[in-house]
C-alpha cells in the first residue's frame, strides 16, 4: 500500500464562524429585499403627477389648474409676479403685503398710475378730510398772512425802489465820470510834484556832498566821521535857508493879500462919497 500523507487540520475559532454566518445571512436578506422591490415597481403604474407635462391627462385636470399651468409655462422671463404685473401696467399686488400698501400716499399713487378700475382704490382718498383741510388752511394763514393783492403791491413798491436806487447810482457814476479828467490831471500833477521834490532832494544832497569835499580840499570817504559831521552841519544850514525862504515867501503872500484888501476897502469908501457929491 502506498503511504498516505496526512494534512494538518486547522481549527477555526468559533467567533470567526459566527461572523461568516452573519455575513451570509445579511447578504441573502438584502438580495431578497431588492427582488421584492423590483417586483413591486414592475407591478405599479406611474402616477399622473410624476409624468412629464406633455403626458398629463387634460380631462382629469381642472380648468383653473390648467390655466395656472399654462400661465406658468408662458412666463419665460422668470420675473416675480409683482414685477411682471408692473411690466404689463397692472396692479403689482392683489392684496396688501405690507403696512405701506395701506397708507394714503401709496393708494393715491396707485390710483394715479393705474386708474380707478386698475387700482381698485376708492377715489375719495385723494381728497383731504375735514381735519386735514382745517390744518392746511391754518398753516396757510400763518405762513402766508398777506393777500395776493398786498403781495403784488409790496412787490411793485420794491421794484420801484430798486429802479430808483439804480438811477441814483448811474447818476452818481456819470457825475464822477465828468470829474474824471480833472482827477486825472490832479493826480498827474501830484505825481510830477513828488518826482520834482525827489529830484530836488537828490540834487541838494549831491550839492551838499560836493560842498563838503571842497571844504576838505581832497577826496574823503563818505563813510568817514568827519565827512558825516560836516554833511550833517551843511544839511542843518540848508534846512535853515529853506525854512527862511518859505517864511519870506509866506510873508510876501500875506503882505500881498493885505494890500489887496486895503485897496478894496479904499475903493468901497470912495464910491459912496462920490455918489453924495453928485
- Residue 37 banded pLDDT, cuts 50, 70, 90: low
Three cell numbers, residue 264: 478894496
Type and span of the H or E element at 230: helix 225-277
What's the pLDDT band for 139 if we cut at 50, 70, 90? very high
Position 13 confidence tier, pLDDT thresholds 50, 70, 90: low
The tens digit of pLDDT for each residue in 87-96 reads 888 899 988 8
Q: What is the DSSP letter of 68?
A: H
- pLDDT at residue 249 tops 50: yes
In the chain, where the domains are located: 63-143, 148-244
> Residue 14: its pLDDT value, please?
52
Give the cell for residue 123: 377715489
Q: Is the pLDDT of residue 21 over 60?
A: no
- For 106, counting Cβ atoms within 10 Å of its Cβ (0-12 exposed, 13-18 middle, 19+ buried), the class is middle
Our measurement of the distance from residue 162's CA atom to the centroid of its chain's CA atoms, rounded to an integer in Å, reads 31
Q: Is the pTM of this model over 0.85?
A: no
Please give the DSSP secondary-structure letter assigned to residue 218.
Answer: S
Q: How far apart are CA 17 and CA 24, in angstroms?
A: 11
Alpha carbon distance 226, 232 (integer Å): 10
Contact 209, 233 (CB under 8 A): no
Q: Are 127 and 141 in contact (CB under 8 A)?
A: no
Q: At what angle do helices 180-216 and 148-178 cross, to 10 degrees?
A: 40
pLDDT above 90 (res 160): yes
Range 17-28 average pLDDT: 59
CA-to-CA distance for 259 and 50, rounded, in angstroms?
A: 140
What would the mean pLDDT of 10-29 be, rounded to a whole number?
Answer: 57
Using alpha carbons only, give the angle 202, 206, 210 rounded to the nearest 5 degrees. Answer: 170
CB contact at 8 A, 220 and 212: yes
Least confident of 113-122, 206-215, 242-251, 269-278: 269-278
26-35, 121-130, 185-194 — which is least confidently predicted?
26-35
Amino acid at each position: 500500500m502506498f503511504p498516505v500523507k496526512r494534512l494538518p487540520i486547522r481549527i477555526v475559532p468559533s467567533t470567526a464562524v459566527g461572523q461568516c454566518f452573519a455575513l451570509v445571512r445579511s447578504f441573502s436578506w438584502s438580495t431578497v429585499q431588492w427582488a421584492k422591490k423590483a417586483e413591486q415597481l414592475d407591478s405599479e403604474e406611474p402616477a399622473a403627477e410624476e409624468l412629464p407635462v406633455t403626458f398629463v391627462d387634460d380631462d382629469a385636470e381642472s380648468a383653473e389648474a390648467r390655466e395656472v399651468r399654462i400661465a406658468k409655462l408662458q412666463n419665460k422671463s422668470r420675473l416675480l409676479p409683482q414685477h411682471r404685473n408692473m411690466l404689463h401696467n397692472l396692479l403689482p399686488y392683489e392684496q396688501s403685503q405690507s403696512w405701506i400698501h395701506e397708507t394714503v400716499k401709496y393708494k393715491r399713487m396707485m390710483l394715479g398710475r393705474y386708474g380707478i378700475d386698475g387700482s381698485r382704490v376708492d377715489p375719495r382718498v385723494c381728497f383731504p378730510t375735514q381735519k386735514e383741510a382745517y390744518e392746511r388752511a391754518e398753516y396757510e394763514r400763518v405762513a402766508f398772512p398777506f393777500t395776493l393783492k398786498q403781495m403784488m403791491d409790496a412787490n411793485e413798491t420794491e421794484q420801484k425802489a430798486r429802479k430808483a436806487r439804480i438811477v441814483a447810482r448811474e447818476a452818481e457814476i456819470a457825475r464822477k465820470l465828468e470829474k474824471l479828467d480833472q482827477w486825472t490831471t490832479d493826480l498827474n500833477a501830484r505825481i510830477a510834484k513828488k518826482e520834482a521834490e525827489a529830484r530836488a532832494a537828490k540834487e541838494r544832497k549831491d550839492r551838499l556832498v560836493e560842498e563838503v569835499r571842497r571844504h576838505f580840499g581832497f577826496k574823503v570817504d563818505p563813510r568817514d566821521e568827519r565827512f558825516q559831521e560836516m554833511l550833517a552841519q551843511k544839511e542843518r544850514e540848508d534846512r535853515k535857508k529853506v525854512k527862511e525862504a518859505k517864511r519870506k515867501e509866506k510873508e510876501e503872500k500875506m503882505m500881498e493879500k493885505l494890500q489887496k484888501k486895503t485897496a478894496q476897502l479904499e475903493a468901497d469908501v470912495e464910491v459912496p462919497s462920490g455918489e453924495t457929491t453928485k
